[in-house]
Structure 1
Amino acid sequence: MAHRKKSTARRPSATEPTRTKANPLTAEGIEHVDWKDVALLRTFVSDRGKIRSRRVTGLTVQQQRRVATAVKNARDMALLPYTSAYPTPPR
């Protein structure tokens, strides 16, 4: 039987305080996310056009849902791209 290599990743212990990411919407005092506010929505979309996760953005569950809906509405109205502007590589 092969030996398993121990993980070298550091896990926080139960006594360590966890660091929470600052919520960008509450920091700016934004209560309603509008699909027409493209500058705000671009902060939650990667350069490839993907919606960033809650772990990355620091939003609450409800805020993340509202941002995702607003990004999708902005995409439908052609304010945000569905994908990045990079062409697909030739085969």
Structure 2
Amino acid sequence: MSSNYDDRERGFDRDDNDDRGDRGGRGGRGGGRRAHRRKVCGFCREKVDLIDFKDVKLLQGFIPERGKILPRRISGSCATHQRMLSEAIKRARNIALLPYATD
């Protein structure tokens, strides 16, 4: 028969008041589960076939202050439209409709 002391010696000192708090045993910040809504490409939703490089207002929405092209995971566009978008931005930069970098 083993005593309570022997169990602790072997590393079996489990009790209900461990230091995990109210997080349910998982790491992180806790909180409730939230269903993640899938982003839908805005261009697909509007059935855009071609992204025009002369549409500067549209293209500026995909370029932050720093001047880099937003990645897909942030812009929410599909792979096809992201390629069209980056190509249009590069063409617009080439003919000086959009700046390469900001001051």
In the alignment, what sits opposite 2:54?
36
Residue number among 37, 42, 51 corresponding to 1:19 in the alignment? 37
Residue in 2 that maps onto 1:46: 64
What SS is found at the alignment partner of 2:96? Answer: coil
- Contact in 2 for aligned 1:20/1:58 (Cα 8 Å): no
Q: Could you say what the CA RMSD is over the residues aligned between the two structures, in angstroms?
A: 2.3
Distance 2:84 2:97 in 1: 17
1:59 equivalent to 2:53? Answer no
> In 2 relative to 1, CA 8–70 (structure 1 residues): closer, same or farther, beyond 3 Å?
same
Q: Which runs of no fewer than 5 residues in structure 1 stay unpaired? A: 1-5, 86-91
Matched residue, 2:19: none
Give the percent of matched residue pairs that are identical in Structure 1 and Structure 2. Answer: 37
Deviation at 1:32, TM superposition (A): 1.0
Q: C-alpha distance in 2, partners of 1:7/1:75?
A: 45
**One of 23, 28, 32 as aligned partner of 1:8:** 28
* Structure 2: unaligned runs, 5 residues or longer: 1-25
Match of 2:101 in 1: 83
For 1:55 and 1:44, locate their aligned partners in 2 and report how far apart those are by CA, in whole Å: 12
Q: Secondary structure at the match of 2:48?
A: coil
Larger Rg over CA atoms: 2
2 CA distance for matches of 1:9 and 1:39? 39
Within 1, Cα distance between the matches of 2:50 and 2:29?
A: 38
**1:88 — aligned with what?**
none
